[in-house]
Amino acid sequence: MTMSAEALAADYLATGTVAGAPSGHFIDGREQDSLSGEKMDIFDPGLGRPFAAVAAGDRADAELAVASSVKAFPAWRRLAPAERGRILNRMAALIRENADQLAMLETLDVGKTLAESRGNAHSAARTFEYYAGVCDKLQGDSLPVGFGQIGLTLLEPVGVVAQIIPWNFPMTTFARGIAPALAAGCCVVAKPAETTPHTAILLARLLSDAGLPPGVCNVVLGEGPSVGATLSAHPDVAHVTFTGSTKTGVRVMQAAAEHFASVTMELGGKSPVIALADCDIEAAAQGAAGAIFENAGQICSAGSRLVVDRAIHRKLVDRVVEIAGEITVGHGLRGNKMGAINSRRQLDMILGFTDRARRDGRAILCGGKQLQDADGGEGWFIGPTVIDDLPDDDPCVQEEIFGPVLSVQVVDGPEDALRAANATRYGLMAGIYTSNISSALAIARDLESGSVTINDYWGGGVEVPFGGVGHSGFGREKGLVAVQAYCRVKSVVARVPATLSQETRNN
């Protein structure tokens, strides 16, 4: 009988180990060690120390995985679309059956809470379920080329694609990239972040259990400069989907351009939550807090800026600070409301921003300092942080902090709110809180953002396209539009005789 997440957590906290955790690459339908035999430690952010070791791949492992996918591609693309859909549906069911184990591993890898990880598992299942229904509905068009000809388009899979997965949402990012690629008939080589490998291996194993043929989805573990760079530059990789920092995204694009591979880039963000004077203050406060404190703010689309009308500034910000004070911080397996920062390096980066804000005399209303887990006294933690009344050019307004730090900008009216919201080089997501739908729609129209929500910051799901503009990248994931990245259009035009009698004479 499968153990519950709570039982798995209790066992881990007692022993410091996870029985049966996957540890190798998943290539050609089986787990395997690196060709070099090298291993790398995986840290529990809540304790700040290693809890497992996995295969450390390099260029040779990545090339082996690509070769496996190249070999598998012809048969996979020819498989009946309905059968592809059945495999993806079985995958969704298997994720739900194994949600507790997946959630446990996600919490240990990332540092987030068990509740958040459980939600991620079910979101991943829903994503495979959604794209299972797409498989047999991908169709081309008939073209109005005129009498005497028939024109049509065919949708074809682009081939082998690479998925470079970030450390903050390993399960959901795996699903939102790999499910549409498989639905389109592509084969996939995935590289999870080096700090968060476990759920990617387990998901690949579950895909195999669901009936996915060997080589159709391979997972290679290792660091970006070796494995990620090899996949981005590999001539047999037709498309690269990358989620991560803007700086690394530039390098991925440059490598892919050398062999004319297409790319989808989901990069950084500095997303605003706009609160107009007529908004429901409690709803806006809850929305703003959830937008930045979920997953300890380690979300590309986190609402890291609160753009608030001066008329409600004090009341709204005070309420957000109250909500922040109710958030318990500690190990994600111990029932806390906020977990750890993923790495010592990331924590130091966040503290660099808050330390500078303190030196500059900014008003830090709460948080801003390193914490320790109340039970274990270890790990990488920072409390929910609110920095008040910042100018547009402050680094906490302009730069992606990637932590639970809310930067407040005070504005005067809707036009000023729009100006402030658009005052960064990023454009991934934005939220608007107002009781006036006309104002909301007008601002939504003029925001430089790939996604906008109104009165519900995390509104939508897999059905809604997601992606950015500006330094937040380009291309879209989720929704039906996501499948387009994994398809190419072939046009076919045939000459047709004007009459049947003409055809008879020609014969």
Is-contact 108 21, C-beta < 8 A?
A: no
Residue with tokens 């009344």: 389
Average pLDDT over every residue of 136-162: 96
Confidence label for 20 from pLDDT (cuts 50, 70 and 90): confident
pLDDT at 500 over 80: no
Average pLDDT over every residue of 474-500: 94
Q: Which one, of 469, 439, 435, 436, lies nearest residue 451 by Cα?
A: 469
Rounded Cα gap, residues 47 and 243, in angstroms: 26
Considering only CA atoms, give the Rg of the chain: 24
pLDDT at 441 over 60: yes
Rounded Cα gap, residues 316 and 278, in angstroms: 12
User: Considering the chain, what percentage of its residues have pLDDT values greater than 90?
Assistant: 93
Is-contact 197 203, C-beta < 8 A?
A: no
Instruction: Encode pLDDT of 27-47 as tens digits.
Output: 999 999 999 999 999 999 999
Q: Which residue has the higher pLDDT, 2 or 47?
A: 47
Q: Which one, of 23, 99, 106, 28, lies nearest residue 57 by Cα?
A: 23
Instruction: Encode pLDDT of 53-81 as tens digits.
Output: 999 999 999 999 999 999 999 999 999 99
Mean pLDDT across the chain, nearest whole number? 96
The whole-number pLDDT of residue 225 equals 94
Confidence label for 503 from pLDDT (cuts 50, 70 and 90): low
Tokens of 419: 């100006």
The whole-number pLDDT of residue 506 equals 57
Rounded Cα gap, residues 289 and 338, in angstroms: 12
pLDDT at 197 over 60: yes
Phi-psi region of 66 (alpha: psi -120 to 50; beta: other; left: phi over 0): alpha
Q: Residue 58 carries which side chain, given as an amino acid letter?
A: D
Residue with tokens 């994720």: 95
Average pLDDT over every residue of 321-346: 97
pLDDT at 1 over 70: no
Average pLDDT over every residue of 82-110: 97
Within 8 A by CB and 6+ apart from 279, the residues are 312, 433, 434, 435, 455
Confidence label for 337 from pLDDT (cuts 50, 70 and 90): very high
The whole-number pLDDT of residue 145 equals 95
Phi, psi of 126 (to 5 degrees): -65, -35
Confidence label for 422 from pLDDT (cuts 50, 70 and 90): very high
Active site residues: 266, 300
Phi, psi of 352 (to 5 degrees): -60, -40
Beta strands in 276-411, from DSSP E residues, in sequence order: 305-309, 363-366, 370-371, 381-382, 385-388, 405-411
DSSP of 331-362: -TTTT-SB---S-HHHHHHHHHHHHHHHHTT-
The whole-number pLDDT of residue 369 equals 95
Within 8 A by CB and 6+ apart from 37, the residues are none
Using the 8-state DSSP alphabet, how is residue 18 labeled? -
The whole-number pLDDT of residue 375 equals 76
Instruction: Encode pLDDT of 287-300 as tens digits.
Output: 999 999 999 999 99
